[in-house]
A and B are shown apart, each in its own frame.
Chain A
Amino acid sequence: MGKAFGAVAGVGAVGALYAMKRSWDPLPSVKAAGFTTVDLSTCVANKLVVEKWRGKPIFVLKKTAEMVAAQSDAQNARDIVIGDDHYMVNIGLCTHLGCIPAYRDKKHDFLCACHGGEFDASGIDTKAPPPSPLVIPPFKITGNTLILGEEGPEFKKMKDAGIIA
């Protein structure tokens, strides 16, 4: 009977362990803040929208037709395309030391005020010191809505293509 009692106690311990595991899970309020939805239909071309997602600024930029026409393949590959519209969606932190670059709508590029790094309108670094392009956050598209924090098929495709490290 000693063994049987041990087994019953063991079941209780497993139950308690499960409760302990659950106590360490991210809280619902934290999880809710982990997903941000952006309505892309309200975006105005060549006007930068800054959203906040998991404590980070997210740049959303709808491009004008002229901007799209002038783009290279590498730049196109980083765009989210819905219908004919191209959107840039990047984490708005300079990959050098994490400052937040500013958008220059006349030149269609980003300038980081801290150390003078520059990025084009697709987030590709064009002037040192930043070592790499702006980071693309995990996203999913449903219709005109962008959900940040979830990996949709478009995101996975970019990942497979090696655009997202």
Chain B
Amino acid sequence: MAHFEKAKSLNEWFDQRLGVNTLNRVLAKEYWIPKDINFLWAMGMVLAITFGILLVSGIFLLMYYQPNVDLAFDSVNYTIMQEVGYGWLWRHVHAVAASVVFLIIYIHMFTGIYYGSYKKGRELIWISGMLLFVAFSAEAFSGYMLPWGQMSYWAGMVITNLFSMGSLEMNGVVEWIRGDYVPAQAFLDRFFMLHVLLIPIVILLLIGIHFGALRLPHVNNQNGEEIDFEVEAEKYRSGNKAASKVIAFANDFMAKDMFVVAVFLVFFFYLVFWNFGFAMDPVNFDPADGLVTPAHIYPEWYFLWSYEILRPFSKDIGLIAFAFAQVIFFLLPFLDRSPNAVPASRRGLFNIWFWVMLVDLIVLTAMGKLPPEGIYSTIGYVAALVFIALWIALPIITKLEKKL
């Protein structure tokens, strides 16, 4: 048995048993963050808070939700929305947060791409982040099934159909995923399980890895400057905080983060109370009906760009393009052949690549929602080709880039 002195304070008691002082030093007081950052660096905290909001609101929804094809719709739209005290609030908060979290994820991703924060030791941050994106997508999709409205049902039908792999016609796989020939009770139950248990566990694990991957290479800064953290930390410790290029995670960085979070929450609650239509599609307020297809079927806005890459091509090529779009962002750290981890504005051709990619994704997003007819179909087709071309061009233009 190890030797324990009698603790003189509660803090010491915990420190002896958990090493809280060491944790506090490594994770907060002496977790050095560059000072030269802007509010985009707070998006991680905004995401963490939004995830917390989703978790809490989800717990309260879970207590009244009925995962049964006959009861699900009414348990959401009547029991939760009308009977449960503040049930409507949890539901609006949950739905809006589920949509807004993707806006923040995209901002977070594009911040990473713009400032080159995915290379020079930060590859795992990027990859774990992309895994989180996939896990969040699965979480969003499975959650979208639960109200069992028309969009739930038909999105479930269309998306699970993708697993027949086009001309391979692997209908057995589709039926295995659904547990039925059409989305029905077995389908709703298993997606309910995925949504409230399995995927959240995966997300929590991935968040742990994502944060862990960040600790050693440190956060990037907005000029791509290489910082000697030892030297700068010494300046900070000696009291010369103003001259130091670093700040402590807590409370320095946290204080700025929380201010950004506060501003974000104003925007968030405005959406929750007055502008929630974008996150709660009207069509999904019609109960699921396997005999009637809605006039327009489209995914939620954050899936539109990849949906549009699927759509303009013939069945098989569309599926291949879709699969390409799903995995290609993972490879960004390896397709970017340039050694420069600096803002895109200083990287010549890559700067153009960045803005074209951003605009192209927005075009794809818009076309993905519009009916695939006439000019929209053509624009979508071109935008999908541009997307693929951009990724083919990326290794070439970054290879040509001069070392700064």
Interface string of A118-140 (1 = CB under 8 A from B): 00000000000000000000000
Chain A residues positioned under 8 Å from B186 (CB to CB): 26-27, 30
Interface string of B169-203 (1 = CB under 8 A from A): 00000011111111010100010000000000000
Whether B292 pairs with A98 at a CB distance below 8 angstroms is yes
For B290, give its contact among A34, A55, A97, A100 (CB under 8 Å): A55
Write the nearest CB–CB distance from B178 to chain A, whole angstroms. 8
In the docked arrangement, what's the CA distance between A99 and B186, Å? Answer: 26
Counting CB contacts under 8 A, is A93 at the interface?
Answer: yes
For B182, give its contact among A25, A27, A55, A57 (CB under 8 Å): A55
In the docked arrangement, what's the CA distance between A96 and B177, Å? Answer: 27
Counting CB contacts under 8 A, is B291 at the interface?
Answer: yes
**Overall SS of chain A's interface:** loop
Chain B residues positioned under 8 Å from A56 (CB to CB): 290-291
In the docked arrangement, what's the CA distance between A8 and B87, Å? Answer: 50
In the complex, which residues 7-34 of chain A have their Cβ closer than 8 Å to any Cβ of chain B? 21, 24-27, 30, 34
**Overall SS of chain B's interface:** loop
Write the nearest CB–CB distance from B179 to chain A, whole angstroms. 5
Counting CB contacts under 8 A, is B295 at the interface?
Answer: yes
Counting CB contacts under 8 A, is B293 at the interface?
Answer: yes
In the docked arrangement, what's the CA distance between A155 and B10, Å? Answer: 78
For A99, give its contact among B179, B292, B295 (CB under 8 Å): B292
Interface string of A98-109 (1 = CB under 8 A from B): 111000000000
In the docked arrangement, what's the CA distance between A55 and B185, Å? Answer: 13
Write the nearest CB–CB distance from B73 to chain A, whole angstroms. 17
Whether A97 pairs with B295 at a CB distance below 8 angstroms is yes
Write the nearest CB–CB distance from A112 to chain B, whole angstroms. 12
Whether A24 pairs with B190 at a CB distance below 8 angstroms is yes
For A54, give its contact among B179, B181, B190, B295 (CB under 8 Å): B181
Whether B179 pairs with A30 at a CB distance below 8 angstroms is yes
15 CB < 8 A contacts A-B: A24-B179, A25-B179, A26-B176, A26-B178, A30-B179, A30-B180, A30-B184, A30-B186, A54-B181, A54-B182, A55-B181, A55-B182, A97-B295, A98-B291, A98-B293
A-B contacts besides A26-B179, A56-B290, A98-B293, 12 pairs, CB < 8 Å: A21-B176, A24-B179, A26-B175, A26-B176, A30-B179, A30-B186, A55-B184, A55-B291, A57-B291, A93-B291, A97-B293, A98-B292
Binding site for A on B (CB under 8 A): 175-182, 184, 186, 190, 290-293, 295
